[in-house]
Amino acid sequence: MAKNHTRYIFSMGELKRKDNSIAFSNEKGNFYIPIEDTRELYCLNEVSFNTKFLDFISRAGITLHLFNYHGNYSGTFYPKDALISGDLTIKQAYAYMQSRHEVAKNIVLAISKNIYETVYHYYRHDKKELKPYLDWLKSDVPKFLQKDISIEQIMFIEGQVWSRFYDSFKHFLPEDFVMNKRVKRPPDNPINALVSFGNTLLYTKTISQIYNTHLNQSISFLHSPREGRFSLSLDLSEAFKPIVVFKTIFDLVGRKQLQVTKHFDKSLNYALLNEEGKKIFIDAFETRINETFMHPRLKRKVSYKHCIKLDGYKLIKHILEDREFTPFSLKEKM
């Protein structure tokens, strides 16, 4: 197993500082979490803690992600920002004014390229119905994006890429998981639930990675920075969605490791993963995001998670040195 610095808390209890480490305690007793080996904590159940604990994990640089009962993201406890750069923030805002279109276009292009790689796998395995969509991704999308278009038009293309992608599920996923329409808040069928949960996990992972750079979380390029959340994280996670979230979903569903009747909450019309389903999904998600490969330029092994941070660095290079920002590409592995 690759190195894993994340813990997911599924049981009820109390997180506390015990001596110089973390203890999770409930009626079963204490469970010790080594402070030096943890970077992220996810609370997916009722967990209580006090300021002493928060102060302690803040000093250790651990981010704490909180979720509500339905598995929706409710927020992050974020250690005191150690990497602050006023200079970069000003220039990031300036870059937003100057080259928002360019960056947004590159993000959409990266999404379509990574989706292409993901879907092509199924085309190669005799799902010829996918051809029109693949051709559209390969030739039409870059052509549209070359034109001088407004940010709304860029976002429209992004929407089209995604909705046609969801539409293509019917060709290679089992019938239970076909998506009729992407529905959020709350999702109303199994596949929507998986997509929402996966995107949320990726979003929180990206927040933790951006935290390790000097970037300002609220100035984004593709998404409108007015939304009341860390929208840069939405931007940077986009290119990784097909690779991390959707590949995990396709694998689990294709191999029948996740089944509608077994792993979804029946009382809510199968529109919510139950606890076992969540565990299966998170386990596969963690394995995938920690999967390593040879980085062609760095000449060493890196994980997808690390590549999110590298994308952050690329964006800094764009902001400070005006280098072109090209998000991670599955084909080029960088």
Partner 1 sequence: MKKDTTNYNYVFLFYDIADEFSDVGKYRVAKVFKICKKYLKHHQKSIFRGSVTAANQIKLIDELKKVIDKELDFITIIKVLNSGSFSESTIGIKDKDSESIFI
> What is the binding site for partner 1 (CB under 8 A)?
1, 3-4, 6-11, 19-21, 24, 28, 31-37, 279, 282-283, 286
Is 8 or 177 the residue whose CB approaches partner 1 more closely? Answer: 8
Q: How far is the CB of 56 from partner 1 (least distance, A)?
A: 12
- Which residue lies nearer to partner 1 by CB, 1 or 97? 1
**CB-CB neighbours of 174 under 10 Å:** 12
Rounded to whole angstroms, how far apart are CA atoms 114 and 107?
11
Please answer whether residues 240 and 205 qualify as being in contact, where contact means their C-beta atoms are separated by less than 8 angstroms. Answer: no
Neighbours of 182 (CB within 10 A): 16
Least distance from partner 1 to the Cβ atom of residue 16, Å: 13
- Sort 236 into a burial class: Cβ within 10 Å, 0-12 / 13-18 / 19+: buried
Pick the closer one to partner 1 by CB: 10 or 313: 10
Of 176 and 283, CB closest to partner 1: 283
Q: How far is it, in rounded angstroms, from Cα 65 to Cα 40?
A: 8
Q: Shortest approach of partner 1 to residue 269 CB, angstroms? A: 26
- Minimum distance from residue 187 beta carbon to partner 1 (Å): 23
Q: How many Cβ atoms from other residues are within 10 Å of residue 55's Cβ?
A: 12
- The secondary structure of residue 330, as a DSSP letter, is T
For the record, the structure tokens of 327 come out as 């998000």
Nearest-CA neighbor of 146 among 159, 157, 130?
157
Assigned token pair, 284? 């596969």
Q: How far is the CB of 287 from partner 1 (least distance, A)?
A: 10
Nearest distance in Å: CB 283, partner 1? 7
Which of residues 7 and 314 has its CB atom nearest to partner 1 in the complex? 7
Q: Looking at beta carbons only, is 19 or 321 nearer to partner 1?
A: 19
In angstroms, give the least distance from the CB of 257 to partner 1. 16
Q: Which is nearer to partner 1, 56 or 122 (CB)?
A: 56
- Cite the beta strand spans of the chain per DSSP E: 6-9, 13-18, 21-26, 29-33, 40-43, 47-48, 63-67, 73-77, 292-294, 301-303
Q: Which is nearer to partner 1, 35 or 183 (CB)?
A: 35
- CA angle, 322 as apex, 319 and 240 as ends, to 5°? 60
Q: How far is the CB of 295 from partner 1 (least distance, A)?
A: 19
Side-chain-side CA neighbours of 295 within 13 Å: the count stands at: 16
Q: Is 294 exposed, middle or buried (0-12, 13-18, 19+ CB in 10 A)?
A: exposed
